[in-house]
């Protein structure tokens, strides 16, 4: 579209000087000041012109000149500062990451390819807005725009101000990027009629999906939110009971309304009547009527009338802020402008005052900050936990390695331990035998001494077997008595290191 808007000019002989208009454009685009109409080669002039104004604005010419512009301008249409000028150039020459900036005349439309959403996009473009049209199938939406342009429904200026962006209301990750720098959001989504057999569709789209869009919009700093729901929301009986047969669709729409009312954003909720039958020509015989919430029990309105009302609501925020408006069209309603219609609805009481809304917004920001702080602490705790888990795993690995080494050493030492166990048994037996031999030697010595005493008392006469037996019994009795005395002494002696009580 930008290329088609370029003006074709006949070739002119280049004078070797940069045109004043191009010089001013370079100054504005790159932040340079007072470089004037410096002499520059014709080839470079054409290359820079293609970079700034597009390939068709200026033709490439030949010529000679002194290149004083502080840029290398190769034929690949890129501009690279020379190294000698890097320190003198301002930060504007360096590439900066794109920062989404809120634009007052930019509106994000959710559900832009629907029968209501498409009319809203066209109406906003006609009123001079820049529109970010969110849809799931970008290629199909772009084809629809091309068809609309071909049939004259959208002008070239409108095409420049519409951007189709990928958007799926059931995927939270796609919402914030789709909103971009829009200051206002219009939500015209709804569970499709061809999905009537899916019991989860109203909850996923009219309920959870729309609530996610509201939350992400508030977090992105959106100032105005227009939500299109349905007549009968927040009601029982006719027509709510019929519409709620579609898996409680009005119940989920009401949940989205409540989320918007407590979001802190300035909002307008439109509850249109039936839009199935009325065509775009319905407005020729039926005029719009706005009513307070829960006061209308039936009626119809065309999709085009709803789209035009959305534009009027965005153009007159002070007349529709924080209100729920039920929208129908009747033949008896007066034919007045949309601004006059909204002025007549000024008597409809707002659901929330600006002061309370500001307090709600501040509370939401505080809650968001607390959540962000909690998320940071949680992330830090997770990092600490991961480090602790790593240390535990390292300790477990070291312990397993030590156990493996122990098992290996035990396996290697098992034969030696087995041999040592046999040798220990032999030594224990030999020790017992030695002790028995010593005891026998001691007994024999004592028996010999006692026998000598008895023989000396008999004039050294040999002892009879009976006398020798008596001597042995006497020695054994003395040994038993001595052993008993030692046991008593050992029992009466206190253990070392323990006070005797």
- Give the tens place of pLDDT for each residue, 330-368: 999 999 999 999 998 888 888 887 788 778 778 877 777
Per DSSP, the chain holds a count of helices (H) and strands (E) of 15, 10
Closest listed residue to residue 49, CA positions, set 40, 37, 57, 61: 57
Closest listed residue to residue 224, CA positions, set 181, 183, 169: 183
Q: What is the pTM of this model?
A: 0.56
Predicted local distance difference test score (pLDDT) of residue 100: 60
Question: What's the mean pLDDT in 231-250?
Answer: 70
Asked if 104 contacts 179 with a C-beta cutoff of 8 angstroms, the reply is no
Q: Is the pLDDT of residue 216 over 90?
A: yes
Give buried/exposed letters for 292-314 (b at 16+ CB in 10 A, else e): ebeebeebbbbbbbbbbbbbbbb
Q: Length of the chain in residues, anyone?
A: 501
User: Rounded to the nearest 5 degrees, what angle is found at the Cα of 124, between the Cα atoms of 120 and 129?
Assistant: 150
Question: What's the mean pLDDT in 49-77?
Answer: 36
**Which residues are 134's β-sheet partners?**
110, 165
Confidence band of 148 (pLDDT split at 50, 70, 90): confident
The string of DSSP codes covering 366-382 is HHHHHHHHHHHHHHHHH
Asked if 191 contacts 249 with a C-beta cutoff of 8 angstroms, the reply is yes
Q: Is the pLDDT of residue 62 over 50?
A: no
Q: Name residues whose C-beta falls within 8 Å of residue 304's C-beta, 6 or more positions apart in sequence.
A: 119, 280, 282, 283
Which range has the worst mean pLDDT, 219-228, 235-244, 406-415? Answer: 235-244
Predicted local distance difference test score (pLDDT) of residue 237: 61
Question: What's the mean pLDDT in 400-417?
Answer: 87
Predicted local distance difference test score (pLDDT) of residue 120: 96
Predicted local distance difference test score (pLDDT) of residue 85: 38
Q: Is the pLDDT of residue 175 over 70?
A: yes
Q: Is the pLDDT of residue 423 over 90?
A: no
What percent of the chain shows pLDDT beyond 70? 75
Predicted local distance difference test score (pLDDT) of residue 68: 32
Coil, strand or helix at 39: strand
Task: For the chain, give the mean pLDDT.
Answer: 78
Q: Is the pLDDT of residue 157 over 70?
A: yes
Report how far residue 260's alpha carbon sits from residue 174's, in angstroms, rounded to the nearest whole number: 19
Predicted local distance difference test score (pLDDT) of residue 79: 38
pLDDT tens-place string over residues 258-293: 999 999 999 999 999 999 889 999 999 999 999 999
Q: Of 45 and 493, which is predicted with more confidence?
A: 493
Question: What's the burial of 459, exposed, middle or buried (CB within 10 Å: 0-12/13-18/19+)?
Answer: exposed
Question: What's the mean pLDDT in 287-316?
Answer: 94
Predicted local distance difference test score (pLDDT) of residue 104: 64
Q: Is the pLDDT of residue 328 over 90?
A: yes
Q: What is the DSSP letter of 273?
A: -
Report how far residue 224's alpha carbon sits from residue 186's, in angstroms, rounded to the nearest whole number: 8
pLDDT tens-place string over residues 431-442: 888 888 888 888
């Amino acid at each position: 579209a930008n290329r088609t808007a370029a003006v074709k000019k006949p070739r002119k002989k280049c004078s070797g000087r940069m045109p004043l208009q191009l010089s001013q454009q370079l100054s504005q685009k790159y932040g340079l000041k007072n470089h004037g109409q410096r002499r520059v080669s014709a080839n470079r002039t054409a290359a820079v012109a293609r970079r700034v104004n597009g390939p068709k604005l200026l033709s490439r010419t030949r010529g000679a000149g002194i290149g004083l512009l502080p840029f290398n301008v190769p034929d690949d249409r890129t501009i690279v500062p020379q190294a000698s000028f890097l320190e003198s150039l301002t930060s504007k020459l360096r590439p900066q990451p794109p920062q989404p900036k809120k634009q007052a005349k930019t509106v994000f439309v959710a559900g832009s390819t629907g029968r209501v959403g498409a009319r809203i996009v066209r109406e906003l473009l006609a009123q001079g807005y820049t529109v970010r049209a969110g849809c799931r199938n970008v290629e199909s939406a772009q084809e629809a725009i091309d068809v609309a342009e071909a049939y004259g429904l959208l002008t070239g200026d409108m095409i420049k101000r519409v951007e189709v962006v990928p958007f799926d209301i059931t995927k939270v990750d796609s919402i914030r990027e789709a909103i971009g720098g829009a200051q206002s959001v219009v939500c015209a989504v709804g569970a499709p009629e061809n999905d009537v057999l899916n019991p989860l569709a109203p909850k996923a789209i009219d309920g959870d999906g729309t609530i996610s869009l509201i939350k992400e919009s508030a977090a992105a700093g959106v100032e105005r939110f227009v939500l299109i729901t349905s007549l009968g929301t927040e009601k029982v009986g006719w027509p709510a009971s019929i519409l709620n047969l579609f898996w409680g669709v009005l119940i989920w729409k009401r949940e989205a309304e409540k989320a918007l009312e407590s979001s802190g954003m300035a909002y307008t909720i439109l509850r249109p009547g039936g839009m199935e039958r009325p065509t775009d020509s319905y407005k020729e015989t039926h005029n719009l009527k706005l009513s307070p919430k829960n006061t209308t029990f039936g009626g119809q309105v065309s999709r085009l009338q709803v789209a035009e009302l959305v534009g009027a609501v965005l153009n007159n925020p002070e007349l529709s802020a924080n209100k729920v408006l039920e929208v129908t069209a009747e033949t008896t309603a007066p034919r007045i402008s949309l601004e006059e219609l909204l002025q007549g609805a000024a008597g409809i009481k707002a659901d929330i005052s600006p002061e309370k809304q500001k307090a709600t917004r501040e509370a939401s920001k505080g809650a968001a900050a607390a959540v962000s702080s909690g998320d940071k602490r949680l992330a830090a705790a997770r990092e600490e936990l991961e480090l602790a888990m790593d240390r535990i795993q390292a300790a477990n690995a070291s312990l397993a390695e030590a156990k493996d080494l122990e098992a290996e050493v035990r396996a290697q030492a098992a034969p030696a331990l087995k041999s040592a166990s046999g040798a220990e048994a032999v030594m224990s037996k030999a020790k017992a035998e030695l002790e028995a031999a010593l005891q026998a030697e001691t007994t024999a010595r004592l028996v010999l001494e006692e026998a000598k005493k008895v023989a000396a008392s008999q004039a050294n006469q040999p002892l009879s077997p009976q006398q020798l037996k008596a001597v042995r019994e006497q020695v054994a009795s003395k040994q038993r008595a001595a052993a008993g005395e030692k046991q008593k002494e050992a029992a009466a002696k206190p253990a070392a290191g323990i006070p005797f009580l």
